[in-house]
Amino acid sequence: MSRYRLLPTPAQQIGLLTHCAHARFVWNLAVEQHANWRPGRAPAPDYREQSRQLTEARGAFEWLAAGSQTVQQQALRDFHQAMANFFRGTHRKPNWRKAGVHEGFRQVAVRAEHVQRLNRKTGRVWVPKVGWVRFRWTRAIPTGAKSYRVTCDRARRWHVAFAVVPEPIPAPRTGHIVGVDRGVTVSAALSTGELLTCPGLSEGEADRLLKLLRRLSRARRGSNRRQRVKNAIAILKAKAVDRRKDWVEKTSTGLAARYDLIRVEDLNVVGMTRSARGTVERPGRGVRAKASLNRGILAAGWGQLVARLEDKAPGRVEKINPAFTSQTCWACGHCASESRESQAVFRCVACGHQANADVNAARNIAAGRAVTARGGDRVAGPANREPQFAPPSAV
Ligand SMILES: [Zn+2]
């Protein structure tokens, strides 16, 4: 998702707000139909049924028919996606949207010519029934953007965000399986022995970011100085985000194209980053603080890599319980924490097998076997894994 500041004229703002109102109206109707459902009653209408009702409503109400059908239709689709996410257990139940708080709508079937660059700093996007709306061209538009979402925040600032859902990449059909481990010393280790590094901030950039963060904590709230420091921080962070995105795209494409099955460790990235919140907001001095900044970037990179893999290789990504994958010898299966000689080196205390510690873990993940704890067959939860948590995403 890349977000840009949208610059509608006052007349266009009225048109955009109408789209927002219609999207909200349709969304809230859908919420209401589902809210009225109780066990034992007829099922709440599904997408097709609600879609039919929308067509009917557009026939009955002129004000609704005057709006954009795609905007209204998309609001319904978004609602059903939200319900699907809710039933999967990854998101909260969709709720009513309020005027002035949740202002936004989505436009789909966007074609390349619907987004144009006017000059170095300005672009324009085509919005049905509103026309060409200008936006600040602050970075390259992702290629292949198929939809965008327009939002208005509480400060009445408009934004447009382009979303790209990549096309699935066909499996090579070689039968090859790869394991990917989130490494301690590198960003990701492959069971093939490859070590991948997600670019973060350079030494100099990390120094500068730390300086700026310190300056920010001293700057008076609401002062111009504070705003300047904030802008400088935002530019540095955007740089790191761009690099990370680039790495995620290239890496996920490569893996999806080279392997039939991709096994990754199943880490609750959200929970792990949340548990360490606070370290980056008040960073210490020197190397540790710098390292933690970069670790935050990498933590976010890992989550994005797995998400992108699932987009590009649907049905070909398996999440493996990571318990003991880094203490178990890939060669003989012996599990002992002493085998993990250091962050980087694994040397099996039973058979003497030696390997890069992250690669050894990646091989266990590739094997996909439930790795057992010492002294028993039980599969232990991730809590028993040695800590590999990353601090919050700094960027
Ligand atoms: Zn061994």
Q: What is the 3-state secondary structure (H, E, C) of 88-135?
A: HCCCCCCCCCCCCCCEEEEECCCCHHHEEECCCCEEEEEECCCEEEEE
- Gap between the Cα atoms of 29 and 49, Å rounded: 13
Cα dihedral 284, 287, 291, 293, rounded to 10, equals 40
C-alpha to C-alpha distances, 248 to 11, 299, 304, 340, 387, nearest whole angstrom: 40, 12, 7, 28, 24
Using the mean position of ligand 1's atoms as its centre, give its distance from the Cα of residue 187 in Å: 25
Digit-coded pLDDT (tens) for 250-279: 999 999 999 999 999 876 544 443 333 333
According to the model, what pLDDT value does residue 298 have?
66
Using the mean position of ligand 1's atoms as its centre, give its distance from the Cα of residue 352 in Å: 6
According to the model, what pLDDT value does residue 156 have?
81
Digit-coded pLDDT (tens) for 82-118: 887 677 655 678 888 888 777 899 988 888 889 999 9
268 φ/ψ angles, rounded to the nearest 5 degrees: -85, 85
Burial class (CB in 10 A: 0-12, 13-18, 19+), 42: exposed
CB-side exposure of 251: number of CA atoms within 13 Å? 28
Angle at 265 between CA 262 and CA 269, to 5 degrees: 120
Based on its alpha-carbon atoms, the radius of gyration of the chain, rounded to whole angstroms, reads 25
Tokens of 179: 């394991």
- Gap between the Cα atoms of 22 and 303, Å rounded: 34
Using the mean position of ligand 1's atoms as its centre, give its distance from the Cα of residue 29 in Å: 61
Burial track 240-271 (b if 16+ CB lie within 10 A, e otherwise): bbebbbebbbebbbebbebbebbbbbebebee
Mean pLDDT (the chain, rounded) = 81
Assign residue 283 a region: left if phi > 0, alpha if psi is -120 to 50, beta otherwise?
beta
Using the mean position of ligand 1's atoms as its centre, give its distance from the Cα of residue 314 in Å: 34
- Whether 343 contacts 297, CB under 8 Å: no
Using the mean position of ligand 1's atoms as its centre, give its distance from the Cα of residue 197 in Å: 27
Q: Does pTM surpass 0.75?
A: no
Residue 296 has pLDDT above 70, yes or no: no
Using the mean position of ligand 1's atoms as its centre, give its distance from the Cα of residue 336 in Å: 9
Tokens of 307: 């998400």
According to the model, what pLDDT value does residue 212 have?
93
Mean pLDDT to the nearest integer, 224-251? 86
Which residues are known to be catalytic? Answer: 181, 265, 358
Mean pLDDT to the nearest integer, 340-368? 91
Using the mean position of ligand 1's atoms as its centre, give its distance from the Cα of residue 182 in Å: 21
Using the mean position of ligand 1's atoms as its centre, give its distance from the Cα of residue 326 in Å: 12
Using the mean position of ligand 1's atoms as its centre, give its distance from the Cα of residue 330 in Å: 7
Mean pLDDT to the nearest integer, 177-192? 84
- Gap between the Cα atoms of 63 and 18, Å rounded: 10
Digit-coded pLDDT (tens) for 315-343: 899 988 878 888 899 999 999 989 988 88
Axis-axis angle for helices 286-312, 203-218 (nearest 10): 110
Using the mean position of ligand 1's atoms as its centre, give its distance from the Cα of residue 346 in Å: 10
Percent of the chain with pLDDT strictly greater than 90? 36
Mean pLDDT to the nearest integer, 167-185? 86
Mean pLDDT to the nearest integer, 62-67? 88
Using the mean position of ligand 1's atoms as its centre, give its distance from the Cα of residue 383 in Å: 23
Using the mean position of ligand 1's atoms as its centre, give its distance from the Cα of residue 350 in Å: 5
Higher pLDDT, 110 or 380: 110
Per DSSP, the three-state class of 227 is helix
Per DSSP, the three-state class of 209 is helix
According to the model, what pLDDT value does residue 387 have?
35
User: pLDDT band at residue 295, thresholds of 50, 70 and 90?
Assistant: low
- Gap between the Cα atoms of 103 and 29, Å rounded: 16
DSSP letters, 245-277, are: HHHHHHHHHHHHHH-SEEEEE---HHHHHHHTT
